[in-house]
Amino acid sequence: MKRIFFVCIMLIGVLAVNAQVVEKTFAELKNEGNAAVKAKDFPKALELYEQAIAKLGDSPITDTMMVYNMGVFAVKAKNNEKALKYFDQSFSMNRMKVSSLLSKSDVLKVMKNDEESLKAMEAAYAIAPKDAKVKTKLANYYVSQVSPLMAKGGEIINKAGAEVTAGKLKTSDAAYKTEIQEAKTEFEKALSLCEKALGYDEANATAKQLKAACQQALK
């Protein structure tokens, strides 16, 4: 019986030693995460970085760049919720605040949350109004909103024209004039967005082309 007890004590001791051996430090886990990044295993890299961060407990995270990168790797791992979490955390740490907001905006766009995506871009603009990347992204956002409005205006005009051709309406009819005005309203909205885009990026070629098309439609 004593022998069995002694063996059990030894086994517990061996297990305890092994547990201590496999216990990894923050630096070791981070290095393994770096290796996973090089291997393009982004889900594994994110997992290892999270384990590394957990090692810090209540201690402040001094490697703030690591937090931003965790957001980047979460994007690559197609984990949008974690990406938002780490970009927000990076922003709150004053690490790459503009990049954190723009990256957050991109994630929200993928999640089809255009309203919050725009808010993130506007927040970046408020911090860095002269940043070319910020202005380009805002311009492109407004350009992307133009085509649907122009398409809707064009559909209304085509419908009205078809009704005239079919003899259902005359161009002097109030109903026809109402439809044309509805179409013009859509083009006016589109024109306003073009001008907003150009306000951020006056060299935006697409915005210029769309603005000219809207102006032509409104003549």
Which tens digit of pLDDT belongs to each residue from 58-113? 787 888 899 999 999 999 999 999 999 999 999 999 989 999 999 999 999 999 99
Q: What is the mean pLDDT of residues 101-130?
A: 97
| pLDDT at site 212 | 97
Sequence-separated (6 or more) residues with CB below 8 Å from residue 55: 24, 25, 26, 29
Sequence-separated (6 or more) residues with CB below 8 Å from residue 108: 84, 114, 116, 117, 120
C-alpha span between 75 and 52 (Å, rounded) = 19
Give the residue carrying structure tokens 């305890």.
16
Instruction: Give percent of the chain with pLDDT exceeding 70.
Output: 90
What is the reported pTM? 0.81
What is the full DSSP assignment across the chain?
-HHHHHHHHHHHHHHHHHHHHH---HHHHHHHHHHHHHTT-HHHHHHHHHHHHHTTTTS----HHHHHHHHHHHHHTT-HHHHHHHHHHHHHTTSSHHHHHHHHHHHHHHTT-HHHHHHHHHHHHHH-TT-HHHHHHHHHHHHHTHHHHHHHHHHHHHHHHHHHHTTS--TTSHHHHHHHHHHHHHHHHHHHHHHHHHHH-TT-HHHHHHHHHHHHHT-
Which tens digit of pLDDT belongs to each residue from 142-184? 999 999 999 999 999 999 999 999 999 999 999 999 999 999 9
